[in-house]
Chain A
Amino acid sequence: MPALRRESSGSAPVDIESLDARRAATGDQSAFERLYRRHVARVHSLVRRMAGPEAADDITQDVFVRAWDKLATFRGESAFGTWLHRLAVNVVLTRRRSEKSERSWILDDEIALADATHVTAHPAARMDLEAAIARLPDGARKVFVLHDVEGWTHEEIAERMGLVPGTSKSQLSRARAALRRMLDGHR
């Protein structure tokens, strides 16, 4: 797992984080709320980019509920934010896998990618990157976010998503091309 390329904003010193994590592990909800306040923007943004804005609130809540359940397994070997980030990625990928296999969903993306750029036929329709990412099909969006935003390697993405690295690379290439078209405001 790579180190986070971009540090979470407003993160607290590690000792305070670890202390709050230990307190939360013993049942201190106030300590857990402090952890939530510090990390919710980071987690919500990651989830929103990976899973889409419609599901972001629901999945973010799920991430924090699972974090509460699993806090006893947090040993402080990595920063709490890194542990939480891994958990959030797992929750997003597991959710999608339960609905459909990653492989079949990547195949569906081949068709959906072509449609993603179809509506931005005029420079006036130029959109920002967040909105453009949201328009990508699921598979391409997850690969793009994990690789270009979060700094994962293709090998790591392939392993976690049950793909071969070549599929991850081709998805990324198509996602970048689609994003360029959307950001430029023409096909």
Chain B
Amino acid sequence: MDTDDEMDPRLRQSIDSLRDTQPATDLWPGIVRQLEPRGSVRTMLIRWPVALAAGLVIAAATSVTTAILMRRTAATAPPSAGEVALGGQRPADVSTVPASFAPGDAALARAVNDLERAVRGSLNHLDAEARNSVVKSLTALDQAIAQAAARQIAAPDDPGVARYLSSTLRKKLDLLRTVNQLTQQS
């Protein structure tokens, strides 16, 4: 039996002389006919959760803004011990970034974690109604992120899942930025 070191020199020479060659006919027209437009099917599949998350972000940002503007002048009692940290409810712990996240998503998740820590510390500046609104939105987004992360582990090559995860992380980051700005203004 030949080993790797015992290959016939003539055969080795023939292998080294192999050259890549174009196909006899241009295959591009047959390929381009099969290319699915980006996002067409996937968008249909994930349209409702994306819309839900987007709606939550808009609703949360609007309600927080309204609540703060309406109550900015109202006297607010110091928070009780039970109200510290999001009124007793804490957003899902996302302090660790899953290993399955792509580099871009991992960076997004780290930014979310950093900002969330800052926002948690300042949420007591908001009144109870605004705080509840923020908590509900963050909880919904955390659930969406967890579902997307689980789907990504199950289907790591699915571009639709990857886009949905990135999109949901960005929505959470946007919400946290909005809340952070509002708590600093109040």
Interface 9-residue window, one of A13-21, A61-69, A105-113: A61-69
The B interface, classified by DSSP as helix, strand, loop or mixed, is loop
Inter-subunit contact A72/B159 (CB<8 Å): yes
CA distance A9 to B159 in the complex (A): 29
Q: Contacts A73-B156, A129-B18, A172-B2: A36 and B28 contacting too (C-beta < 8 A)?
A: yes
CA distance A71 to B35 in the complex (A): 12
List CB contacts (< 8 Å) of A1-38 with chain B. 8-9, 25-27, 29, 32-33, 36-37
Q: Contacts A42-B20, A183-B11: A69 and B159 contacting too (C-beta < 8 A)?
A: yes
Inter-chain CB contacts under 8 Å: number: 97
Chain A residues contacting B25 (CB-CB under 8 Å) are 57
Residues of B in contact with A, size category: 35 or more
CA distance A146 to B178 in the complex (A): 55
Inter-subunit contact A149/B18 (CB<8 Å): yes
Cβ-closest chain A residue relative to B8: A180
Chain A residues contacting B8 (CB-CB under 8 Å) are 176, 180
CA distance A149 to B31 in the complex (A): 27
How many A residues have CB within 8 A of the partner chain? Answer: 42
Q: Is A115 positioned at the interface, with any CB of B under 8 Å from its CB?
A: no
CA distance A8 to B18 in the complex (A): 12
Cβ-closest chain A residue relative to B39: A27
List CB contacts (< 8 Å) of B1-20 with chain A. 1-2, 7-8, 10-11, 14-15, 17-20
Cβ-closest chain B residue relative to A169: B1
Inter-subunit contact A57/B27 (CB<8 Å): yes
B interface residue numbers (CB < 8 A to A): 1-2, 7-8, 10-11, 14-15, 17-25, 27-28, 30-32, 34-39, 102-103, 156-157, 159, 162-163
Q: 26 pairs across A/B with beta carbons < 8 Å? A: A27-B37, A27-B39, A36-B27, A40-B22, A41-B20, A44-B22, A45-B19, A45-B21, A57-B23, A60-B23, A60-B27, A61-B31, A64-B27, A65-B34, A65-B35, A69-B36, A73-B156, A73-B162, A129-B14, A129-B17, A130-B18, A149-B15, A149-B18, A173-B2, A176-B7, A183-B10
